[in-house]
Structures are given as structure tokens and as C-alpha cells.
Amino acid sequence: MRFAEIIGYVAALLVFLTFYIEMMVPLRIVAMCSNCAFIAYGYLDGLYPILFLHVVLLPLNAMRLNQMIQLSFQVRTAANEDLNMDWIRPFSSVQHIHVGEMLFRRGQPATHMFVIISGRFRLRETGIEIRPGSVVGELSLLAPKHKRTQTLECLEAGEAFCMSLRQLEQLFFQNRTFGFYFLKLITSRMSENLERLEHALVEREQEIRSLNKAFGLSEPSRLVAEEVQETQSRELFHDPSLASLPPC
């Protein structure tokens, strides 16, 4: 068996391994090794179409590998610092928004999440302002019904990174570290929403106690007031305007 044939069999084995490997970074490394082997095989045996193909594929695989390594490093850095998604820029598109424009409306299907770059935005139902650096729309994007629960209007012209569900899914499948980071982001948003709900419940409880004290309610009346409070609490937890705050 000639040396060129041995190189060819090694190259074929490496190609087989690329179909077996699941993780993207090792897959790209093995793919680059197969490119090098096929380049040597094509050169030694004079198979110039194969040689040309893998000369083109080698830098392409190297570029994709570099992107994945940079993404992994940036995600690890971000996971240990504040939740910032500026590093998704290469994997998203920029959307320009004018004053008065609605980025999305309540009840619409959720197809994208956004990272605000500039400008001022407000959630109409709750009056909460969304400022540059904020992530918005990720919860509805992942919710079972994929429906917006609030309307986001533009108060001052600006820009936002726009990322579709398909792009998000691709990053999830290609990089598990990104999945961990995004899980941390979602957990942070859910914790913020829970804190807001608890604060609203405390305020309602204080209102009822103040009314009891002001009107000198008897014990039976207080029991009725407590029942009313409990009913209001249940309604509060099911209020869609409070159940989905900044990320909608």
C-alpha cells in the first residue's frame, strides 16, 4: 500500500469521526485535521479537485472554530459578571426603531427577543421603562404559547439587537455553555418578577390593615377583610400585567 493511500484512509476515518462527534469545538478540530489529510492526499496523488476543496474548507473550519472558542470564553466571563448580552452581536441583526413605533404588541406571537442598544422604551401596561443594555422578550419567546403579554413602545428613537427563536436554538445546540448562561438570565428575570409580586402583595396587605384601623372594624369584619385580601392576592398572581414584567 502506497503512502498516499494511507493518508487517504486516515482522511476518510477523520471524516467519519466528524459525523460521530456531538460537541462543536472537537468536531471542528477533527474536521480541520481531515482537511489537512485530504490536502496531503490530493497533492501526493495529483487529485487537484479534492486538493482545492479542502484548501477552501480548512480556513472556513478554522474561522468557525475561532468563533465558538470566543463565544465560550465570553459566556464564561459574562456568567461570572453582570448579565450582559453585547457579545451576541455577531449572531443577531440590528433593528432601527422610531419614536411611537411598537416593537411588539400584547397578544402577538413572540418570534424574537431583543437587546436594547440605544433609545428609550416603555412597557405600556405596567409603565416600566426599558433602557439600553436591557434584554426584553425572552420569556414570551420560550413560553409554551409564544404570546406577548405586554406592549413595548418606543419613547426615543434607538436600535436593538434582534434574535429569532431559530438563531437562539442554534446557539443552544452548538454551545452548551451558552445554554447555561441563558438559563441564568431567565432565572434572574423570574426572580425579579417574583420580588415585584411580593412587594405588590405587601402593599395591599398594608392598605387593608390601615383601613381596618381607620374604621375600627370588628373581628368578623376583619375576617371578611382577610378573605377579600386573599381573593385579591389570588387575582394578583393571575394578573397578566404583573406576571410578566420587564422581559415579555
Tell me what pLDDT residue 245 has: 46
What is the pLDDT averaged over residues 195-211?
A: 81
What is the pLDDT averaged over residues 23-46?
A: 89
Rounded Cα distance between 61 and 30, Å, is 10
Q: Alpha helices of the chain — where are they, by DSSP H? A: 3-20, 24-45, 48-79, 138-142, 165-174, 176-215, 219-237, 240-243
Least confident of 65-74, 115-124, 166-175, 202-211: 166-175
Tell me what pLDDT residue 97 has: 92
Rounded Cα distance between 146 and 159, Å, is 23
211-232 confidence digits (pLDDT tens) = 777 776 554 455 555 555 566 5
Rounded Cα distance between 153 and 64, Å, is 37
Tell me what pLDDT residue 242 has: 43
| Residues whose CB falls within 8 Å of the CB of residue 218, separated by 6 or more in sequence, listed in order | none
Exposure b/e, 177-188, CB count within 10 A at least 16 = b: bbeebbeebeee
CA torsion sign for 9, 13, 16, 18 is negative
Tell me what pLDDT residue 177 has: 64
**Residue 170 confidence (pLDDT) above 50:** yes
62 within 8 A of 32, measured Cβ to Cβ: yes
Could you tell me how many residues make up the chain? Answer: 248
**Residue 49 confidence (pLDDT) above 70:** yes
Tell me what pLDDT residue 145 has: 82
Mean pLDDT of the chain: 78
Rounded Cα distance between 162 and 189, Å, is 19
Least confident of 112-126, 159-173, 224-238: 224-238
- Which pTM does this prediction carry? 0.49
81 within 8 A of 65, measured Cβ to Cβ: no
Confidence class of residue 85 from pLDDT cuts 50, 70 and 90?
low
Using only C-alpha atoms, the chain has a radius of gyration, in whole angstroms, of 27
| Residues whose CB falls within 8 Å of the CB of residue 197, separated by 6 or more in sequence, listed in order | 236, 237, 242, 243
| Residues whose CB falls within 8 Å of the CB of residue 206, separated by 6 or more in sequence, listed in order | none
**Residue 36 confidence (pLDDT) above 90:** yes
Contacts for 129-134: CB closer than 8 Å, 24+ residues apart: 129/155, 130/246, 132/158, 133/84, 133/86, 134/246
Least confident of 9-23, 85-99, 150-164: 85-99
**Residue 107 confidence (pLDDT) above 80:** yes
